[in-house]
Structure 1
Amino acid sequence: MPPRRTRPVVNRALAALIEQAGWTHAATAQQVNAVAAETGERIHYDRSAVGHWLTGTVPRPEAVHAAVEAFRRRLGRPDLGPAHLGWPDPGAGPPADDPWRGDPVARLATLGEDDLLNRRTVLTAGTFTLAALSSLSNLSGISGTSARSARRARVPGPSGRPGAGDVARIRAATVAFADLDDRFGGAHARVAVAAYLAREVTPLLREASGRTRPDLFAAAADLGYLAAYMAMDAGANALAQRYYISTVRLADEAGDLLLRATALRSMAVQAAELGHDGEALALADAAASALGGHGPRRTLAWITGMRAEAHAAAGTRWDALNLLRRTENQLERAGSPQEAGWGNYRHESLEHQIGLTLTQLGDHATAARHFTASMNARRPVETRTRVLIGLRAANAYLRAGDPERAAVTALGFGDDVRLTASARVGDELRRLRAGWQRFRDSPLVAEADRAMSTGPQSTGPQSTGPLATGRAR
């Protein structure tokens, strides 16, 4: 219940939107803080601050932009602006910018440089925004002028131009960076990836021509995908969204629908983890449409599994369960697992996907068993993935009413938590520790809580080959 007022409401526009959103003053403040945190902006408003806003106070510019985005998401109204909240436009927000347009290489170069140098232009270039996903015509397939036609018009460049050796080096670097991500989390070595992408790869893309051009753009898309995933894992979701869009556009330049579908599928993962259920479903469906039912069965299973999770979040239970069965059938018909490659979807990835889907459907006890099976099957190098899924298993056991099983699960990977630089791991850990506080009289829970008290190395956005292996998915 809102606090008792001593001053009259002046900002009736804001009061009306809060009522439409169904938020308390405390919830409004929490949502604004959370949206701002996606860009690394740490603000700490509470319900009293919202009360001041209602009586005429205008918050500082970063809070205005965060509040606008929070209400856009809650009400499904991408048209909302500061005026709808009863505030003047502070004029300090990001300029209107469509990441789907313009030269994709120039955009990638600017994005990488801004990321590398920690420029505010990228860290506050809007939060993860639904506006970038609002035009699904961008997501359904390669559109506009055919990139492949443009490539056919090119002629091979001189011998000094990029060649197969450059492609091989980019792919080798991507595999090396991906190994660091698997072992230590996305917040570790992320700046090195941005530097390599901006300083080494984009200059090659500008000079690419001839038969090597598609391979070079595909290799760059692989690396862009890794940069996006690492940014998302580090909690820099606005930045990750831009990298994912760049990946889709590089895949289009390469004429590679498999790369496009993979990037769209991972954008669906990001949207799902941020609670944007409708957008997650649209992105997952767009990934499936990009392939049209054709492609490696492991990739098809990987995408179908994401569609199952998105349908579960959207409340279409039977569609979700039917898609899970289809995922399992596709995986059973697939050949032997690749050691690397797009859509390297294994049985342990499916176990994790089932756990996520059942969590959305409210079956926490069964979800916990699937999470545990996925965690136990992970390879030793998959430290971050094993910890993340293990924490999801512990949270599922806790929500199913078994705090001691949650504690035993958490104790099984306590040392690895401290090695992991991941905001997503930090979020899961905070959720777990908050949830089992009322069970601290159990010696086992108390021991696990102490073991988890140091947490991962990173719990927020950092300023500082083929990858679709079902990375924690």
Structure 2
Amino acid sequence: MPKPNEALQRLFDMSGWTLSQCARAVNRVGSENGTPLKYNASAVHHWLHGTTPRGERVPGYIVEAFSRRLNRPVTYAEAGFEPSYGQCSQHPDTVDELIELGKDDMDPSRRGVLGATLFSVALTIPDWPNVVGRLVAVESGRTQRIGFREVDAVVAMTEELSRLDDQFGGRHARPMAAAFLVSTVGPHLRADAPEPVRKALLSATADLLYLTGFMAVDEGYHGLAQRYYLKALECAGAADDHLTYCTTLRGMSLQAIDLGHAHHAQRLADAAAAASPAAGPRMRAFLAGQQAHAYAATGSRNQALAFIGEAEVAMEKAESKAKAFGSYAPSSLAYHVSQVRYALGDKAGAVESLKESDRLRHSHYRRSSVRYNALLAERQLELGYLEEACFTWGRVLDDYPLVKSGSADEKIRRMKSLLRPHVRNTAAATVYQRARLPEAV
């Protein structure tokens, strides 16, 4: 007979959960990570009495569920489980760790393990004072000396990877980014360089890490994305780069809200805004738009409307061209307006704003078009506009075969699920059958 898991019992007592509530919390974490679970009170009872959960990922789901409930990181040992690969380091501080992360991501045999790492709501996010000056003590190998030409190459490669992600999705671009991180950026960080070059390199590295994390989110590798994002924060702080630091926090807020963690997303969006004291109008619109989205998702109507108004005013003032990635354009603002309207109950207005976003979006952003037009079709259907939704989904299917993206794949799966009950309608049947063709899959 197994020995009771006293460590897990202590966590359970602190949580205040019933057995059923604990089971539902674990099930939610599993679903979020692509593993539908059906645990009930009986299963939790058995865990508390020492039964080992079935499935190698389940202990991680249990640990994450308790982390979220207690609003602090919980370790495997604290829950009475054996440690597992992939727990995020709270304070990563070496270039070696950055290189190892890239090596794992570029290795196809490791991607399943990386994909299993969990998104953690309770993860400690370092604030600006805590990341400033990080990586200062990186030792030079003295095997080479780099200058601004090498930094320019990192910037150019990052922009090219971003262009590929926008147009074709990140499934192929992210392993390329990881390989570049290992083969080029890591050695550059170890090389001898004047202080201005070193800071510029750290800033460029932070941009690359942010982009790679963003692509991991798109593929549904949320724990992996957090690890890239934390490294981006660290490098941005060491480079005294407020822009990339705030952009990364904003990306983490977007990730959280897409996973349904609205209050966590709100805190991250506020932290991004607070850390940008000298933000220009485009950056202010970028940050305020995310704040509006997060506050709307928490039901904070007045704050959401105030922030979206601030974003609209800032966008009108924006004149300078933003970076190729992480930029905030009128189409992005229209998307945020749509999300605010939808969260506050104005579904018809949300549809109109998504249409405006589509009208303003440059054709280069094919992955975004697939995702957001699929969302538009879902909301058109929700309003009862079946024929209009089918037309929009038809446009999605025009672009989808050219995009390799986990989020786009999920949108197509959802489209088929939503259309299935309507296949007696001619337009719905046409789109549904088209979605089942090999070239659409």
Q: Compute the TM-score of the two structures, normalised by the length of structure 2.
A: 0.86
In the alignment, the residues of structure 2 paired with residue 452 and residue 125 of structure 1 have an alpha-carbon distance, to the nearest angstrom, of 29
SS in 2 for 1:441: coil
Aligned-partner residue type, residue 114 of structure 1: D
Letter in 1 for 2:268: L
Which residue does 1:33 correspond to in 2?
Answer: 30
1:111 to 80, 85, 101: 101
Contact 1:383–1:420 (Cα < 8 Å) also in 2:
yes
CA distance in 1 between counterparts of 2:76 and 2:200 reads 45
Q: Deviations over 1:387-440 (max 9, x none)?
A: 111011111112223222211111123121122211212223333332333333
Distance 2:415 2:16 in 1: 29
Match of 1:409 among 392, 395, 402: 392
How many Å apart are 1:19 and its aligned residue? 6.2
Post-superposition offset of 1:79:
5.8
What is aligned with 1:280?
A: 265
How big is the shift at 1:212? 0.8
- In 2, are the aligned partners of 1:305 and 1:327 still within 8 Å (CA)? yes
How many angstroms apart in 1 are the aligned matches of 2:352 and 2:305? 17
Shift in Å at residue 18 of structure 1? 10
Amino acid of the residue matched to residue 316 of structure 1? S
> RMSD of the alignment, in Å?
3.4
| Residue 144 of structure 1, CA deviation | 6.4
Which residue in 1 is equivalent to 2:165? 181
Q: Find the residue that maps to 1:143 and give its secondary structure.
A: helix
Show the counterpart of 1:93.
Answer: 84
Matched position secondary structure for 2:171: coil
Q: 2:93, 2:440 → 1: CA distance?
A: 37
- Amino acid paired to 2:237: D
Q: Measure how far apart 1:89 and its partner are.
A: 2.8
Structure 2: which amino acid aligns with 1:143?
N
Letter matched to residue 46 of structure 1: K
Unpaired runs of 5+ residues, structure 1, are: 1-9, 38-42, 459-473
Q: Residues 82 and 213 from structure 1, CA distance in 2 versus in 1: closer, same or farther, beyond 3 angstroms? A: closer
Once the two structures are superposed, residues 307-365 of structure 1 have per-residue CA deviations (whole angstroms, 9 ceiling, x without a partner) of 000101111011101111110000001115x2635763211111111112222223222
Cα 1:15/1:129, change in 2 over 3 Å:
closer
Which residue number corresponds to residue 467 of structure 1? none
Query: Contact 2:380–2:389 at 8 Å: present in 1 too?
Result: yes
Contact 2:31 2:37 in 1 (8 A): no
Residue 170 (structure 1) aligns with: 154
Partner of 2:61: 66
Distance 1:429 1:91 in 2: 38
**Hey, what does 2:374 align to over in structure 1?**
391
Query: Which residues of 2 match residues 189-208 of structure 1 at below 5 A?
Result: 189-208=173-192
Q: Quick check: 107-116 or 256-265, which moved more?
A: 107-116
Farther-moved stretch of structure 1 (324-333 vs 371-380) = 371-380
Is residue 377 of structure 1 aligned with residue 364 of structure 2? Answer: no
- Letter in structure 2 aligned against 1:115: D
> Following TM superposition, by how much is the alpha carbon of 1:76 offset from its aligned partner in structure 2, in angstroms?
4.8
Give the superposition deviation at 1:296: 2.0
CA drift of 1:96 comes to 6.3
Write the distance in 1 (CA, Å) between the matches of 2:205 and 2:22: 46
Relative distance call for 1:144 and 1:271 in structure 2 (3 A) is: closer
Does the CA-based 8 Å contact 1:224-1:247 persist in structure 2?
yes
Alpha-carbon distance in structure 1 between the residues aligned to 2:379 and 2:420: 15
- Percent identity, aligned pairs only? 30
* Pair 1:348–1:35, CA change in 2 (3 A): closer
1:360 is matched with: 343
**Alpha-carbon shift at residue 457 of structure 1 (Å):** 8.1
Partner in structure 1 of residue 93 of structure 2: 102
Alignment correspondent of 2:410 = 427
Alpha-carbon distance between aligned partners in 1 of 2:436 and 2:67, rounded to the nearest angstrom = 36
Q: What are the equivalent positions in structure 2 for 1:236-251 lying under 5 Å apart?
A: 236-251=221-236
Q: Deviations over 1:171-229 (max 9, x none)?
A: 11112111110111111232111001111111101114312111111111111111111
After superposition, the Cα gap between the structure-2 partners of 1:220 and 1:258, relative to the gap in structure 1 and judged at 3 Å, is: same
User: Residues 399 and 121 from structure 1, CA distance in 2 versus in 1: closer, same or farther, beyond 3 angstroms?
Assistant: closer
TM-score (norm 1): 0.80
Q: Secondary structure at the match of 1:426?
A: helix
User: Paired residue for 2:300?
Assistant: 316
Partner letter of residue 276 of structure 2? L
- Matched residue, 1:461: none
Amino acid at match of 1:65: G
Cα drift, residue 232 of structure 1:
0.8
Please, which of 123, 128, 147 is the counterpart of residue 119 of structure 2? 128
Q: Name the residue aligned to 2:38.
A: 46
Higher-RCO chain (CA-CA 8 Å, sequence separation at least 6): 1
1:426-468: per-residue Cα shift (whole Å, max 9, x none)?
A: 223333332333333221122222223359989xxxxxxxxxx
Q: Deviations over 1:76-135 (max 9, x none)?
A: 544667799xxx7330424865343422x22211211121224379616740112324xx
Q: 1:215 to 1:272 in 2, by over 3 A?
A: same
Quote the Cα distance in structure 1 between the aligned partners of 2:406 and 2:86: 28
8 Å Cα contact 1:185/1:384 also seen in 2: yes
- In structure 1, C-alpha distance between the alignment counterparts of 2:141 and 2:87, rounded to whole Å: 37
Paired with 1:163 and 1:363, the residues of 2 have a C-alpha distance of 53
CA distance in 2, matches of 1:175, 1:226: 9
Contact conserved, 2:71 with 2:121, CA < 8 A, in 1? no
Quote the residue 2:323 is aligned against: 340
The residue number in structure 2 matching 1:230 is 215
Question: Match of 2:130?
Answer: 143
Contact in 2 for aligned 1:398/1:406 (Cα 8 Å): yes
**Hey, what's the Cα distance between the residues in 2 that align with 1:66 and 1:162?**
44
Q: Distance in 2 between matches of 1:284 and 1:164?
A: 33
Contact 2:174/2:216 (CA < 8 Å) preserved in 1? yes
C-alpha contact (below 8 Å) 1:28/1:50 kept by paired residues? no
1:391 partner letter:
A
Change (3 A) 1:145 1:310: closer
